[in-house]
Structure formats: C-alpha cells, structure tokens
C-alpha cells in the first residue's frame, strides 16, 4: 500500500513515517505540509492510505476531504490533537481518527483494518461481507449461523448486523444506525442502538464482556472488525 502523510508540523510527519516504515504491507510513504500540496499528491500518486491532519494553515483536513477526486478515494485516517472533531470526521466517512500523541500499536491497528477495508472495497465490489470470526451470514436466506448452530436474531437485530457489515469495517455512528435501522430523524438520541448491540454481542461474540468483532468507538458508534 502507498501512504500519504499530510501535516504542517515536520516532527509530526516524521513520527508517523517512523511507524509506517516498519509496517510490511506499506511500500511507499510520501509527505505533504499543506492541504493544497496534499490534493496535488493524491491526484498524482493515488495513495491507498491518507493520514490527514485537521488544523492546517491553508486548507483544513475537512476541506481536503471535500475536494478529493471521487475516482481516487483513499482510506482517510484523520490525525489530530483535537478530539472535538471526531463526530464530524465519521460523518464525512473518514475511516479512522487518531488522537495525537498516539502509540505505534494504534497506527498499526488502523493500517491493518484499513487494508481489509480497502480489500473489501476493491474485491468485494460493494458486496456485503458475510463472515467474521465463526459467524456466517446467509444473506439470501437471512439466516445467521455461529459454527453449525443457527442463531435466532430478531428482525431489528438482523438489520443492525447488516447495517454494520455493509460498511465493511468502517465506523457507523449511532445516529446513522438509528436512521438506517429504525428510520429515526437525524436528531433523535436513543439508547436503543446500545441495547441491541449488547444483545448481538451476547449471541455472536466469543466473550461478550470483551467484544472482539463488534467494537465500540467512543463516544460515537460502532464498527465490525472483519
């Protein structure tokens, strides 16, 4: 994979480069110090992963996201010291959100998940992933199996599982889930999602107290690790 780092601070770029160069699947790492340079580099290099700072002098990370050419959409991982932008980041479909300063493992994990997300995007051709862990989903029969046993899901639980799978490992906010599964308006706050997720975990996770596949992304929503 090719990665592009966009940050106006040289030490911050070097920090990320240091981690990325140690990841076997990453072949090439480029750097830019401004949003405009980043847009040029995306058009020129078509990177797979875009590590994007939010507060930059010319264009903000969100401006860059808006102007990305539609035919060259990398997996965008926002990297920032501001945690208050998380909601907006996932609303514009950023793949992940790294808070500075971070640990190496957090970057490595983000790259691993982004790689499987990209693989799904490219090879699954938009198909809904139908397996994670020992869970298999028969989309035609709307039937969920764990190992050999059929798991009895209620209709909303099945719809919720599908809504998570459809994103191919990307974060889904509670509001998106409420809208997709329950048809709520954008502004309705509800714990409904949480209670249904808790039941899905009880039925599908090996250890529901420490979920491995249906992961909470605080404070916004959930994702399925494929």
Partner 1 sequence: MSQRRVVLLTFVGWTLVAIMFSFEAQLRPADLDRSPGWVHAIGWRLAGWWSWAAFTPVVCWWTAWLRRVRLPLALTGHLVGGAAVVVLCAVVQGLSRWAIGLYHPSQGLADGIALVVRAYWPFNVVVYVTVVGLYLALTYAREAQARERRTARLETQLVQARLDALTARLQPHFLFNTLHAISALVAEDAKSANKMIARLSELLRLTLSRTRTPLVTLEQELELLDHYVAIQEVRFSDQLRVRTHVEPGARAARVPTMLLQPLVENAIRHSIGDGRGGDPALVEIGGRRSGDRLRLEVSDNGPGFVGTAPDDTGGEGLRNTRERLQQLYGDHHLLRLTNGAVGGARVVIEVPFEEEHARADC
Residues engaged in binding partner 1 (CB under 8 A): 8-12, 14-15, 18, 33-34, 36, 55-58, 80-82, 99-102
Between 32 and 164, CB nearer to partner 1: 32
- Closer CB to partner 1, residue 55 or residue 156? 55
Sign of CA dihedral 55, 57, 63, 64: negative
**Residue 28 beta carbon to partner 1: minimum distance, rounded to whole angstroms:** 20
Query: Which three-class secondary structure string do you get for 163-220?
Result: HHHHCCCCCEEHHHHHHHHHCCCCCCCCCHHHHHHHHHHHHHCCCCCCCCCEEEECCC
Looking at the DSSP bridge assignments, the partners of residue 149 are 146
* Interatomic CA distance for residues 164 and 161, integer angstroms: 5
Which residue's CB is nearer to partner 1, number 36 or number 179? 36
Q: CA-CA distance, 150 to 143, in Å (whole number)?
A: 7
Closer Cβ to partner 1, 104 or 138, answer by number: 104
Q: How far is the CB of 58 from partner 1 (least distance, A)?
A: 6
Minimum gap (Å) between residue 1 Cβ and partner 1: 22
Rounded to the nearest whole angstrom, what is the least distance from the CB of residue 131 to partner 1 in the complex? 38
């Amino acid at each position: 994979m090719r990665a592009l780092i966009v940050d106006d601070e040289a030490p911050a770029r070097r920090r990320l480069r240091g981690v990325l160069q140690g990841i076997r699947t990453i072949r090439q790492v480029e750097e830019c110090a401004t949003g405009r340079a980043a847009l040029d580099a995306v058009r020129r290099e078509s990177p797979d992963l875009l590590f994007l700072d939010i507060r930059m002098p010319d264009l903000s990370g969100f401006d860059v996201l808006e102007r990305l050419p539609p035919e060259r959409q990398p997996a965008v991982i926002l990297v920032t010291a501001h945690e208050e932008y998380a909601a907006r980041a996932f609303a514009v479909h950023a793949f992940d959100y790294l808070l500075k300063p971070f640990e190496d493992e957090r970057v490595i994990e983000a790259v691993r998940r982004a790689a499987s997300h990209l693989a799904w995007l490219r090879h699954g051709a938009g198909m809904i992933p139908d397996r994670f862990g020992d869970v298999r989903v028969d989309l035609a029969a709307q039937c969920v199996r764990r190992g050999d046993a059929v798991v009895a899901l209620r209709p909303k639980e099945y719809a919720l599982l599908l809504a998570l799978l459809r994103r191919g490992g990307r974060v889904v906010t509670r509001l998106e889930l409420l809208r997709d599964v329950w048809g709520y308006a954008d502004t309705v706050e509800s714990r409904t999602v949480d209670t249904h997720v808790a039941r899905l975990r009880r039925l599908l996770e090996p250890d529901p107290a420490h979920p491995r596949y249906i992961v909470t992304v605080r404070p916004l929503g959930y994702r399925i690790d494929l």
